[in-house]
Amino acid sequence: MIIQNKKIQFRDLGLMDYLSAFDYQEKLMKSVIDLKTKNRDRTDGIFEETPNYFLFVEHPHVYTLGKSGEEQNMLANAEKLKEINATFVKTNRGGDITYHGFGQIVGYPILDLDNFKSDIHLYMRNLEEVIIRTIAEYGLKGERSEGETGVWLDVGKPYARKICAMGVKTSRWVTMHGFALNVNTDLKYFEYIIPCGIKDKSVTSLKRELERKFSFEETENVKSKIKKHFADVFKAEFM
């Protein structure tokens, strides 16, 4: 009998370039999948619990294009990227193009969804719920936009704007990639792309909405709130 493991190992990676964090995620994902394969092939009925991980990281300026994205949504050429000290990476998550950079909280859950519920649609809605609950503590009403992932403000209005982007990959029900919540993010970097391939909506941050910069301590507090709501929504326990 396989028992669901709802404990999550937490790691804050600090500042790390995108490709290094990508490789680290893939390593963790592979270790979970390998263990699932081992469990599947056992004949003695003894199974090992599969682990879950949750990573926080901050990336230097980088634009990432999902596997279903359109490259024309990258508006800056190589010369411009060099000028603004940014890189461009094609990656294997779902979704289109987005930006990661300083002042942004990036969360990468590497979960075995068999430990929770094997439903990618529910997983995405739960990720959104975590951020909706988090920003509600700052007086912001986060919403979902039909047909578009992530968390938005003022959906259905001409000034609708995204505060948190999301994109994931799953293999054997193991997840990687995740969400990017704009806190102190320099929003001018979004001017060089069509964010998520959506032309008629803008991007925002906690700093812009609350009209104040978040200190290091306040940003750490946002992370704590995300962890709390993640544990609540997923009925999990952080280690």
3-state secondary structure (DSSP) of residue 204: coil
All domains in the chain, ordered by first residue: 7-234 (3.30.930.10)
Q: How confident is the chain (239 residues) per 10-residue block, as mean pLDDT?
A: 87 97 98 94 87 98 87 88 94 86 98 97 98 98 93 93 95 97 96 68 94 98 98 97
Which residue, 238, 107, 123, 125, is CA-closest to 183?
107
Distance, in Å, from the CA atom of 115 to the CA atom of 108, rounded to the nearest integer, reads 17
Q: Please, what sign has the CA dihedral across residues 119, 120, 121, 124?
A: positive
Residue 137: CB atoms within 10 Å: 12
Looking at the DSSP bridge assignments, the partners of residue 2 are none
Q: What's the pTM?
A: 0.93
- pLDDT reported for residue 190: 92
**Of 27, 219, 192, 23, nearest in space to 106 by CA:** 219
HEC states along 185-238? CCHHHHHHECHHHCCCCEECCHHHHHCCCCCHHHHHHHHHHHHHHHHHHHCCEE
Query: Which sequence positions are flagged as catalytic?
Result: 196
Which one, of 239, 201, 234, 209, lies nearest residue 129 by Cα?
A: 234
